[in-house]
Structure 1
Amino acid sequence: MAIDLQQIGKRFRFYTNLKELEMEDLKSITGSDEETLSNIIHGRNIVLDELVAIVKNFCDLNPQWLIYGEGSMFRPMDEDGHCQENHKGLLKKDKAAYLKQMQDMLIELDAAEVAKGHKPDIDALKAKLDQMKAAQ
């Protein structure tokens, strides 16, 4: 199975935007430098060892989804029903603007994932965004 660096970047950017993580947050959480993180986000010059080291810092991120676009974006929860993250996912932005941004990114991901045959995964993410909108 071929690895598409551009798609890895788009998926990582989608995940970090969903979690509202800025570059400074990513540097703090991962201990990586800005150039390495920027390369991953933009899908260029990715060294697999660096990517693996960075992904290990996000306990809820499914590496299979990140690298291959397969399965859910999030790992299943542990026996206790939670994931012990290094950071809290509190909304820092205007919720409506945030949901619009995530919806736009999802459309971009959708086009690429549908072409690869991962339509059910995208549909599940769309349903989650619709639930968030409805709760607003």
Structure 2
Amino acid sequence: MAIDLQQIGKRFRFYTNLKELEMDDLKSMTGSDEETLSNIIHGRNIVMDELVAIVKNFADLNPQWLIYGEGSMFKPMDENGHCHEPNKKDCLKKDKTAYLKQMKDMLIELEAAEIAKGHKPDVDALKAKLDQLRAAQ
């Protein structure tokens, strides 16, 4: 299975935007420098050891999805469907219409790339989650 650095960057950018993580948040959470994080976000010059070390800091991020685009973006939540992370930024926020629109726009960009790679079911699942969040408001 080939690894596409630009796709990794798009998926990581999608995840960090969804979680509302800014560069300063990423630096403090991961201990990585801005250049390394920027390289990952933009899909260039990614050293896989650095990527793996960074991904370990995101308890809910599915590394299989990030690297290969397979499966769900998030690891399963607890048995009650709740985020079990103590840091509020580790849980999805569900109350911002503009925020959901931004995520939908990013999903459209990601969808085009994923469909080209044959991952339409994963994209459809993400769309359904965004629609559920929007309906819950």
With normalisation by structure 1, the TM-score equals 0.91
Q: How many pairs were matched up?
A: 135
Return the alpha-carbon distance in structure 2 between the equivalents of residues 42 and 49 of structure 1: 17
Is the deviation greater in 37-46 or in 83-92? 83-92
Aligned to 1:122: 123
- Equivalent AA in structure 1 for residue 38 of structure 2: S
- Deviation, structure 1 residue 85: 3.2
Aligned to 1:37: 37
- Equivalent AA in structure 2 for residue 113 of structure 1: E
Secondary structure at the residue paired with 1:101? helix
Percent identity at matched positions?
Answer: 87
- Deviation, structure 1 residue 128: 0.7
Q: Return 5+ residue gaps in structure 2 as ranges.
A: none
Return the alpha-carbon distance in structure 2 between the equivalents of residues 91 and 83 of structure 1: 8
Q: In the alignment, is the contact (CA less than 8 A) between 1:58 and 1:85 conserved in 2? A: no
With normalisation by structure 2, the TM-score equals 0.90
Q: Output aligned runs, 1:1-136, within 5 Å.
A: 1-77=1-77, 84-85=84-85, 87-89=87-89, 95-136=96-137
- Deviation, structure 1 residue 83: 5.4
Q: Deviations over 1:57-86 (max 9, x none)?
A: 001100000000001101123568655436
- Equivalent AA in structure 2 for residue 14 of structure 1: F
Return the alpha-carbon distance in structure 1 between the equivalents of residues 114 and 51 of structure 2: 21
Secondary structure at the residue paired with 2:88? coil
Q: In the alignment, is the contact (CA less than 8 A) between 2:18 and 2:92 conserved in 1? A: no
- Equivalent AA in structure 2 for residue 43 of structure 1: G
- Deviation, structure 1 residue 87: 2.5
Return the alpha-carbon distance in structure 2 between the equivalents of residues 75 and 45 of structure 1: 26
Return the alpha-carbon distance in structure 2 between the equivalents of residues 124 and 68 of structure 1: 16
Return the alpha-carbon distance in structure 1 between the equivalents of residues 123 and 45 of structure 2: 27
Return the alpha-carbon distance in structure 2 between the equivalents of residues 97 and 81 of structure 1: 25
Q: In the alignment, is the contact (CA less than 8 A) between 2:9 and 2:40 conserved in 1? A: yes
Q: In the alignment, is the contact (CA less than 8 A) between 2:78 and 2:84 conserved in 1? A: no
